[in-house]
Structure 1
Amino acid sequence: MTVYYKGFPQSDREEYLHMINVDELEQRVKKIMPEGAYYYIASGSENEWTWRNNTAAFNHWQIIPRALTDMENPSTATEFMGMKLKTPVMISPIACHGIAHTMAEVDTQKGAAAAGALFASSTYANKSVEDIAKAAPDAPRFFQLYLSKDWKFNEMVFDAIKKTGYKGIYLTVDALVSGYREANLRTKFTYPVPLDFFTRYLDGKGEGQSVAQMYASSAQKIGPEDVRRIKEETGLPVIVKGVESVEDAYKAMGAGADGIYVTNHGGRQLDGGPAAIDVLPAIAKAVNHQVPIIFDSGVRRGSHVFKALALGADMVGIGRPYLYGLALGGAPGVQSVIDQLDKELLIDMQLTGCKTIEDVKHAKIAHINYTADNLDSITSPDRMKPYPKTADNQIKTNGASDATSGASEH
């Protein structure tokens, strides 16, 4: 049930998960995941105001129920950029799935494929794009690009994703430096499992570095010309990821972007910025269906998926929940998280008379303002609760467990 990479415990579970909602997985996963790895996934930046409000802000928007619609058996099937999918719920890219499961992105891809969902892997993935592609050869997938200062590195990446059948690129533009992630500092987190592209190019330097150190190798200067250059060199569609303003949406489209990805990186970058769902309507209005829109940040319910679609998104990404599912159940665990959100989404569709995802995009949504909280981060000393210690979640150091915290020391 647990294997070790240089003392770092990794789950090897493979089972479909039963849950009431995806939030409950966050507590269950603590029993098998080291503290530092858990907080790397779970936390946000600074006081985590934006991180919390990403989910809370969905309550600003209310779904108007519809009756007498004479409709039954709604379907979550949809199409995105020519790809036929069973669901509008997609796997948002996250680095280092190996902290959740020994099969890392390979199992995430398998789980997404089983659910009929679009998958995306990161430049900072543990598994190779070749192994990911072999896991589900016919499944649609995108690649999240952290543009490097070193164009030889970029060209290596471009060559690999073209050969392995990736359908497009998410160019990340909101992570030029790492957000101030206090949880990573408190647990002294470093990437404990090798990152494939860095192993290829930098002789394994992707292992043992902090998040800030990894981001430092990425380009801090990205502009419209980079969008054009990536499109020209790869011949693939480029979706600009990290758009939170109308001005940036216009700039991205002017540079030839094939899509707009509305996200604030799950509240992990700029704290104090707006919740992602609150900026989506204005951006969607500006884009006006000229290019497709992807949305993520804070999605925990089928109703959140519904609201994002109704407010202008074409696809809705999830992040943390599927990593918890991966740790607890491998590929079937990932599938079960997507299935749970689809189950909830279908109920919302039935109660609003929406037969198809296209109908959801025209559903009626109301808006009411709210008052936000101003709590400290979940890892501040006055709020941080004791972390459970089990035989499965401790780092092994020289044959003994790290009973202090279980944080990575690589």
Structure 2
Amino acid sequence: RAAFERWVLRPRMLVDVSDTTAATTVLGTEVSLPVLVAPTAFQRMAHPEGELAMARGVAAAGTVMCLSTIATATIEEVATAAPDGARWFQLYWSTDRGVVQDMVDRAAAEGYRAIVLTVDLPELGRRERDLRTGFEIPENVPVPAFLALAERAGVKPTDINWLVDNSLTWRDLEWLRSVSLLPLLVKGILTAEDALLAIEAGAEGVVVSNHGGRQLDGVAASLDALPEVVDAVGDRAVVLMDGGIRRGSDVVKALALGAQAVLAGRAPIWGLAVAGAEGVQRVLELLREEVELALALCGCASPAEVTRAHVARTA
């Protein structure tokens, strides 16, 4: 949040904003606002229907849901819950390439429109808050998708290390590109160098993300890292950002720094916890209303009109 406070909006006056819209297009998918729902694990900890309710709420709001590898519903169940919804699949790279191939193939068969490969987990970060609170996944939270993957990989479900391959390199990304026709985005990019390597390996986009700040202390906030990546990538690939999105004005700041859209994780989960699918839909509708208001007050009739001239850094 401190990063968003460092950047301020620079509104322009006497611009016709009588027909302002937050709608845009991301990787060929029309969305009602430049906010997609980030992959979030174990959603039945927030609501009994978990990812199924999330999928319905996101579809009703007219944007994209990114399903986590570590979900409490399967790839197929989520597709069935919201057959008309736009879906991406977030991939953690298993040490078993057969498992990777299986997940990618199933996502393609069920109409998922992109693969989002998370690359910032060569090791699990030391998450001190979880250690202090003794956080564990409750035994009554069903994880059928995770159990099925563990069985396929031939490992114990309690051991998640098989989802973290610290030998992963850009060559593996090239292999993934060769076995899937779906658009590929690389999530966890914070530098220009890695953004360019991702594109060279065949990615259609990158997600600027520091994994909620939970992997490595001392790294840049996603918003602060965004301009470097955008300047390096240019128009060669889609650049998205996640981390810290709470308000419509946050979204406009990210757009001004070059993101085509953002991903939000916590806010949709809060809506899910309060009111299931309807709560998710309402949170996203509220964000859309706030984005449209912020756009209009900045003198922009659409996300495409936002430029870097609409923000300034104060510190």
- Category of TM-score, reference length = shorter chain: over 0.9
Is the CA contact 1:352–1:363 (under 8 Å) kept in the aligned structure 2?
A: no
Report deviation, 1:336: 1.2
Give the letter for the 2:148 counterpart: R
Mapping for residues 185-264 of structure 1, pairs under 5 Å? 185-192=131-138, 193-203=141-151, 209=158, 213-215=159-161, 217-264=163-210
Q: Looking at secondary structure, tell me which structure has more helix per residue.
A: 2
SS at match of 1:143: strand
Q: Which amino acid aligns with 2:135?
A: F
Q: Are 1:108 and 2:87 matched, yes or no?
A: no
Q: Which one-letter code corresponds to 2:98 in the other structure?
A: K
Q: Which amino acid aligns with 2:113?
A: K
Q: Distance in 2 between matches of 1:159 and 1:172?
A: 17
Look up the SS of the partner of 2:312 in the other structure: strand
Shift of residue 273 of structure 1?
0.8
Whether the 8 Å CA contact 1:199–1:206 is kept in 2: the answer is no
> Does the residue aligned with 2:8 lie in a helix, a strand or coil?
strand
Deviation at 1:67, TM superposition (A): 1.0
Residue among 28, 32, 35 paired with 1:89: 35
Corresponding residue number in structure 1 for 2:245: 299
**Would the alpha carbon gap of residues 102 and 207 (structure 1) be closer, same or farther in structure 2, given more than 3 Å must change?**
farther
Q: 1:133 aligns with which of 50, 58, 79?
A: 79
Question: 2:95 touches 2:162 (CA, 8 Å); kept in 1?
Answer: no
**Whole-Å separation in 1 of the counterparts to 2:142 and 2:94:** 18
Q: Is the 8 A contact 1:176 1:215 kept in 2?
A: no
Percent identity reads 39
Q: Which residue of 1 aligns with 2:9?
A: 63
Q: Is the 8 A contact 2:104 2:115 kept in 1?
A: no
Q: Equivalents in 2 of 1:194, 1:68: separation in Å? A: 55
Aligned residues of 2:92 and 2:163 also touching (Cα < 8 A)? no
Match of 1:317 in 2: 263
Q: Which runs of 5+ in 1 are unaligned?
A: 1-54, 370-410
SS at 1:295's partner residue? strand
Of 353, 357, 366, the residue aligned with 2:312 is 366
Distance 1:206 1:335 in 2: 37
**Secondary structure of 1:202 counterpart:** helix
Instruction: Report the TM-score, using the length of structure 1 for normalisation.
Output: 0.73
Q: Distance in 2 between matches of 1:184 and 1:215?
A: 17
Greater relative contact order (Cα < 8 A, sep 6+): 1
The 1:71/1:159 distance shift into structure 2, 3 A limit, reads closer
- For the 8 Å contact 1:109–1:132, the answer to whether it is kept is yes
Cα-Cα RMSD:
1.8
Number of equivalent positions: 312
Larger Rg: 1
Residue type at the aligned position of 2:83: P
Q: Secondary structure at the match of 1:353?
A: coil
Please give the TM-score of this superposition, normalised by the length of structure 2: 0.94
- After superposition, what is the alpha-carbon deviation per residue over 1:306-355, rounded to whole angstroms, capped at 9, x for unaligned? 00011010111111111111111101111111112112111111111111
Between the aligned partners of 1:81 and 1:218, the Cα distance in structure 2 is 27
Secondary structure class of the residue paired with 1:84: strand
Whether the 8 Å contact between 2:32 and 2:288 is mirrored in structure 1 is: no
Q: In 2, distance between residues paired with 1:353 and 1:251?
A: 36
8 Å contact 2:150–2:157 — kept in the other structure? Answer: no
Task: Tell me: CA distance 1:215–1:99, structure 2 relative to 1, closer, same or farther (3 Å).
Answer: farther
Task: Name the residue aligned to 1:123.
Answer: 69
Match of 1:279 in 2: 225
**CA distance in structure 1 between the aligned counterparts of 2:34 and 2:155, rounded to whole angstroms:** 32
Are the counterparts in 2 of residues 299 and 305 from structure 1 also a CA contact under 8 Å?
A: yes
- SS of aligned partner of 1:299: coil
The answer on whether the counterparts of 2:146 and 2:157 sit within 8 Å (CA) in structure 1 is: no
Cα deviation for residue 116 of structure 1 reads 0.6
Structure 2: state its 5+ residue gaps.
none
Partners of 1:67 and 1:352 within 8 A in 2: yes
- Residue 180 of structure 1 pairs with residue 121 of structure 2: no
Q: Whole-Å Cα distance in 2 between the matches of residues 365 and 201 of structure 1?
A: 44
